[in-house]
Amino acid sequence: MAKRKKGSTKRIVVPTQPYKFRKRFGLFDILIEKEKKFLYFIAFSLILAGVIYPYASIAMWVGFAFAGYSAIANDSIQTIGTFIVSNEDKKWYWQWLFMGSIFLGTVFYSWYMFNGDVTYQRLASKGFDQNPDNFVFLQLAAPIILMLLTRFRIPVSTTFMLLSVFTVSSGAILSMINKSLMGYIAAFVAALLIYLALSGLLKRLIKGEAHGAWVVAQWVISGFLWHTWLAQDLANVAVYLPRSLSTGEFTAFAAYIFLGMGFLFYMKGDKIQHIINEKSEVRDVRSATIIDLVYSIILYYFKEVNNIPMSTTWVFVGLLAGRELGIRIRSQDSTTKFAKTFSLIGRDILSVAIGLIISIILAVAINPVIQQEIKDFLFK
């Protein structure tokens, strides 16, 4: 609204909204403008999912395409996040070809040894062993929601977000939660003890310029971690596809993810890489190597325990939380730095909790069997 004083040509602008409202609205407007193209893509994807979900033979590949990128992009912080940030001086395509070759070798071995199964029999466990022969809208919408959360740097569990919408039993979800919780606790305690006991030694190790052997060690350990993670989490992507893939189906599956990895490396991990970048000393190749080594050992152990899928995100969040707390305790930092550490830990826990809640809501909304089990439990 504008007013003009008598005898003056100057216009006086009178705000019609409170300053705080205009400031907040302006920030929101900037955010929408910045992400406009991405939000258009999300809207188009949801419309596409709504159109094609009744056609199972098409829907399974569209769902796989959404899940393939969203799962790798969200979980990239766990497996290749430290690798990307500590190799910022290396060409992205060398990183892609190295990790891409490990991916191809890993999935080919599983496909060949397990009669067309690319998930190392993770989907052979009870509740996930049925081939998808029809879909509902929310099953295709789940990876789109995951892409949206990834864009805003929320490291949710892809295992819960994607697998829970296909399970035919609440017991399968409870088994995943139990195994994932055990993984979080194991990773937290292991990292805390390692950094409490060895932080002095580790500080001496990461002083000065890293020896070339550390770079080699990190690439080898990161490759092993990537292989171990794939054996655990490929089930999140392949759940949309037949449990046994033909040669043509396997070729399409492997080629799509291989090329998607190239885009991810070109983008340097995309938005969610910030979760790694804000942690202490992860840019140093020696520190990144230690993180990857501990993480790969824990993942390998749980891979061998049983074939129940688990959330590797929970394991990774536990690992970073224990590491950050161990560093702070040994450094005897100020209260302010401790508060910041607990804030980071709490924020990451909140993120995975949000993902769990969303995935459970989706699973209940989709599956009538789980709805009936809940009714029987509440009204028995």
Q: What is the pLDDT along the chain (380 residues), one digit of tens a residue?
A: 545 555 555 555 545 555 444 444 454 455 566 678 888 899 999 999 999 999 999 999 999 999 888 877 776 666 777 777 777 778 889 989 999 999 999 999 999 999 999 988 888 776 677 777 888 898 899 889 888 877 776 666 777 778 777 776 667 778 888 888 888 888 889 888 887 877 666 666 666 676 678 778 888 988 898 898 888 888 888 989 998 999 999 999 999 999 988 888 887 765 544 555 455 455 567 777 777 888 888 888 877 777 777 777 788 888 888 888 887 787 766 666 777 778 877 877 787 777 778 777 877 777 776 777 777 766 76
pTM beyond 0.75: no
**Bridge partners of residue 2, in order along the sequence:** 13
The letter for the amino acid at 86 is S
Does the residue 124 lie in any domain?
yes
Domain hosting 172: range is 55-374
Q: What domain count does the chain have? A: 1
Q: What SS3 string covers 26-47?
A: HHHHHHHHHCHHHHHHHHHHHH
Does the residue 40 lie in any domain?
no
Q: Report the candidate in 288, 46, 311, 24 with the shortest Cα–Cα distance to residue 161.
A: 311
Does the residue 34 lie in any domain?
no
Does the residue 10 lie in any domain?
no
Does the residue 31 lie in any domain?
no
Which tokens belong to 207? 């002083």
Could you say which DSSP state residue 211 is in?
P
d(CA 295, CA 300): 9
Does the residue 86 lie in any domain?
yes
Neighbours of 244 (CB within 10 A): 14
Mode of pairing for the β-strands spanning 2-4 and 11-13: antiparallel
Could you say which DSSP state residue 240 is in?
T
Does the residue 235 lie in any domain?
yes
Q: Report the candidate in 43, 86, 74, 45 with the shortest Cα–Cα distance to residue 288.
A: 86
Q: Report the candidate in 166, 160, 168, 176 with the shortest Cα–Cα distance to residue 360.
A: 160
Does the residue 83 lie in any domain?
yes
d(CA 333, CA 328): 6
**Could you give the angle at which helices 212-238 and 285-305 cross, rounded to 10 degrees?**
40
